[in-house]
Amino acid sequence: MTEFFSVPPVKDFAEEINADYKVSVNGKECPVYNARSSAVPYNGYNDTGAAFQRPKNQSETAAFLRITADEELRFSVEFAETPADCPASVLTGVKKSLRSPAVVRPLEKNVSVKECGNKAEFTLRGAGAYIFEPYGRHCALHIFVDAPRAYEKENATLYFGAGLHFPGVIRVKSGDRVFLDNGALVYGSILAHGAEDVKICGCGVLDDGYEVRITPHCYEDYTKGNIRFYNCKNVTVEGVILRDSANWCFSMYECEDIIVDNVKVVGQWRYNTDGIDLMNSRRVRIENCFVRSFDDSVCLKATEGFKGDVTDISVKNCTLWCDWGRTLEIGLETACDEYARICFENCYLVHNSAVALDVQGGNFARLKDITFKNIAAEFEYGALPEQMQTSPAEYDAKGGVMRPALIAVGNPAMIDMDMYKYLFSEEQLADKRRGVVESARFENIRVYLDEGVGMPVSYVRSFYDGFEFGSVFIENVTVNGRRITNKKDLNMTVERVKNFTLK
């Protein structure tokens, strides 16, 4: 069986169909919808006169489709020679044309693309997230393939059927079951305080596009994003697509026993639209998800004002695209006693920006039992350099390219950074404690570099005397199939580490 995600119109209002792609699957036309994405890596303009809103001319129109199927899928894709909505500023880097040989990511899926002019054919076998890219990283087509699964929608306390819905803020309470059926497009956000035994699931889309951000930081609920939980327990979020958040997309604060399964984060382009953030939370599983974010993709934090350690976290079988910042990250905020038993496993990192695999002890936590294993990280040629926007000036790459890091383990203190000092009291600013990484492992890390891309830098470094790191173990890093066994070839710097192993 094959079923497409399709939003039926309501009276005179219909969800816009993407202009760049026409797709058929197994001979049937498949609807393709818009997912506005960042065109340039220009983040963080916090002037109150701009009210924290990102100009639309820094974005572009990407696309997505969703299919539920239990059979092989044969795609025929017709795409525009030049995408309809992509700003000229993306051409200020080393590439002067967007059109490039089409590719399907993740590369390890080994999807062969047969291309003829502005048409392409390929076959997908198995569920997962795929990205078809005929224009490099710009204006991509995101393809979500789900295996059939039975949801208990008859038990829903709040049901959204196929069509358009405008509920605004959906305030979830204990025992609620929220169901977004196939074809449901819900313009709103989900907020919960102190809720337990909650399920949010289905094949629909939750779109936060009507919300306006009103605060500089993302910890409080003045701005909700797509989903925001405070002090919640025993929550499952499954299957839904999250689009166009006003700030952090899916965030959890002081939460316990959370399952996030098969969630798709796409169409995130506004300032600081992190993908999935955990703040002072415990016993969380994030698995089988796709995240494309305009800031850190999956990030584990702890900050002043919230209580509890960050422990027993699993991020597994996910496909990630980071348009700015860190792809898999611990920190920067680590204001708790301990991080422990954290595992990132079996993930595809299809596009990376500042850092792919990142551990930042920005406050005073002890970080131990941190594991990254079986990770594939891709680095493409010509990626534009990150810039922090501090004025209304337009983005200008000035001919530069992004030089990301593969592995970064450090403890840059937030209280020493001017951009974060407003978050702390005078007493906190005088704190002499620093974060310490007690134990971290990186195993079976596979790196894929496009032709012309140099080896990314890596470092394991405590920035402060008297705060040496403990044990950092790195084993079986390969670059385009070649195993790396020494620091020089890994472009690795090591400082103030008691026990460092690379083999």
* CATH code of the domain covering residue 201: 2.160.20.10
Which pTM value belongs to this model?
Answer: 0.96
| Amino acid at residue number 106 | P
Domain boundary among 146, 180, 199: 146
pLDDT of residue 47: 53
Q: Calculate what percentage of the chain has a pLDDT beyond 70.
A: 96
**Taking Cα atoms as reference points, which of 155, 163, 344, 311 lies closest to residue 236?**
155
Domain residue limits at 438: 153-502
Domain boundary among 121, 146, 171: 146
Same domain flag for 124 and 201: no
Q: What is the mean pLDDT of the chain?
A: 93
Sign of CA dihedral 27, 129, 266, 453: negative
| Per-residue tokens: 331 | 């920190």
Of the pLDDT bands very low, low, confident and very high (cuts 50, 70, 90), residue 434 is: very high
DSSP 294: B
Same domain flag for 164 and 111: no
pLDDT of residue 46: 54
Q: d(Cα 103, Cα 135) in Å, to the nearest integer?
A: 9
DSSP 58: G
Same domain flag for 139 and 225: no
Q: Provide the number of structural domains found in the chain.
A: 2
**Taking Cα atoms as reference points, which of 332, 326, 290, 296 lies closest to residue 65?**
290
358-382 mean pLDDT = 96
Query: Does residue 54 have a pLDDT over 70?
Result: yes
Same domain flag for 102 and 188: no
Same domain flag for 322 and 231: yes
The residues near 116 (Cβ < 8 Å, ≥ 6 apart) are none
Same domain flag for 21 and 158: no
Same domain flag for 128 and 272: no
Same domain flag for 160 and 22: no
Give tens-digit pLDDT for 84-118.
Answer: 888 866 654 434 456 688 999 999 999 999 999 99
Same domain flag for 161 and 213: yes
Same domain flag for 245 and 122: no
Same domain flag for 233 and 295: yes
Give tens-digit pLDDT for 199-215.
Answer: 999 999 999 999 998 88
Q: d(Cα 420, Cα 39) in Å, to the nearest integer?
A: 26
DSSP 137: B
pLDDT of residue 93: 46
Q: What is the CATH number of the domain that holds 101?
A: 2.60.350
pLDDT of residue 478: 98
Contact between 24 and 45 under an 8 Å Cβ cutoff? The reply is no
Same domain flag for 110 and 220: no
Domain boundary among 87, 112, 146: 146
Q: d(Cα 339, Cα 163) in Å, to the nearest integer?
A: 43
Classify each residue of 149-186 as buried b or exposed e, where b means 16 or more C-beta atoms within 10 Å of its C-beta: eebeeeebeeebebbbbeeeebebeeebbbbbbbbbbb
Q: d(Cα 385, Cα 225) in Å, to the nearest integer?
A: 26
